[in-house]
Amino acid sequence: MKRMAIALFAIWTIAAHVMAPPCQAADGDFPSRPIRIVAPFPPGGPLDTISRVLAQQLTVQMGQQVVVDNRPGASGIIGVDHVAHARPDGYTLVMTGNSFAIHATMMKKLPYDTIRDLTPVAQVATTPLWIVANPRLGVNSARELVALAKSKPGKLTYAGTMGTVTHLSVELFKQAQGIDLVFVPYKGSAPAMTDLISGQVDVMFDTIPSSLGFARSGALKPLAITSAKRVGIASDIPAITEEGLPDLDVVGWYGLLAPAGTDKKIIDRLNAEIGKALALPSVKERLDAAGAESAYSPTDAFARFIDSEITRWRQVVARAGIPLMD
């Protein structure tokens, strides 16, 4: 796994440095016109909100408008493809997340090359995930869920959308715990949540912000956070490691990519401005209000993180025998 991640990182590095055409040398006046952040999902979701919080602060810092352009479709592939084939001048970026790495492992064919057509700029934020259950299932912790699943192999069900983090994180959990939960696929989180609340399915891994209201009303029972520590917006819910279970270390993550070949000086400038923005208390507060946490990382670190995510989910997909998607 480590060798594969190193190899992927080497490809990122080569692509970022050798694919730039001579005309794309960094302009000392960058930016001299508006910058566009493509959000490959509809308005109103966490990715869109995080994009807008960042764009507003970058507008202030960089002296040019930074605008968000929603281009949803095909689970984010349409927006990413648009940027992958855009002019590599730093003026067209894409905010992406877990789906970017998962698509590289689950799709038979993509209209872009995940590694060679895009270059990382910076990680921006994370949103925590948790395990939620229908209260009638009668479990109060992740440990109790594991015990029940082992006593009823193949009887408990989980909701999710095929090829998303809500799907593959459960498969990772199953593999780590040696349990058998039956996947019930949905076309989106809304119908999945409806059936979870009504008891048509038993459990779901979900981002905390999207299901927090249902948990507070008693419609859902939160069992554990899927990372190593508790989170502020649900501080009463234990991290999975507190129950003596292995740390899944699964979060929703978001970061900016640019077309491959974008000059390194421009990438470095963007990364520095993003880091400056994410360090501001006002930006952190706005992200926190949206259920997200600032998670800045330098470009190289972000590239290594994406490589590790691709490697991890590829292994999960292979072990689970999940067929590739068209």
pTM (2 d.p.):
0.88
Q: 259 and 271 in one domain?
A: yes
Q: 122 and 132 in one domain?
A: no
The 3-class secondary structure across 146-196, one letter per residue, is: HHHHHHCCCCCEEEEECCCHHHHHHHHHHHHHCCCCEEEEECCHHHHHHHH
- Longest Cα pair distance anywhere in the chain, in angstroms? 65
Single residue among 224, 248, 272 that ends a domain in this structure: 248
Long-range Cβ pairs for the range 319-325 (8 Å, 24+): 319/171, 319/175, 320/171, 320/174, 320/175, 322/106, 322/171, 324/106, 324/107, 324/108, 325/106, 325/107, 325/108, 325/162, 325/163
Domain count, the chain: 2
So what's the pLDDT on residue 144?
97
Q: 241 and 155 in one domain?
A: yes
Closest CA to 40 of 91, 86, 74, 67: 74
So what's the pLDDT on residue 249?
86
Q: Residue 191: which CATH number?
A: 3.40.190.10
Q: 138 and 113 in one domain?
A: no
Single residue among 201, 233, 248 that ends a domain in this structure: 248
Closest CA to 195 of 186, 205, 207, 183: 186
Single residue among 220, 248, 276 that ends a domain in this structure: 248
pLDDT tens by residue, the chain, 326 residues: 444 454 455 455 544 444 444 444 445 689 999 999 999 999 988 999 999 999 999 999 999 999 999 999 999 999 999 999 999 999 999 999 999 999 999 999 999 999 999 999 999 999 989 999 999 999 999 999 999 999 999 999 999 999 999 999 999 999 999 999 999 999 888 899 999 999 999 999 999 988 999 999 999 999 999 988 898 889 999 999 998 887 788 999 999 999 999 999 999 999 999 999 999 999 999 999 888 999 999 999 999 999 999 999 999 999 999 999 98
So what's the pLDDT on residue 245?
86
Structural domain that includes position 161: 128-248
So what's the pLDDT on residue 12?
56
Q: 121 and 132 in one domain?
A: no
Instruction: Report CA-CA distances (Å) from 100 to 87, 106, 257, 260.
Output: 20, 10, 10, 15
Interhelix angle 189-198/208-217, nearest 10 degrees: 20
So what's the pLDDT on residue 248?
84
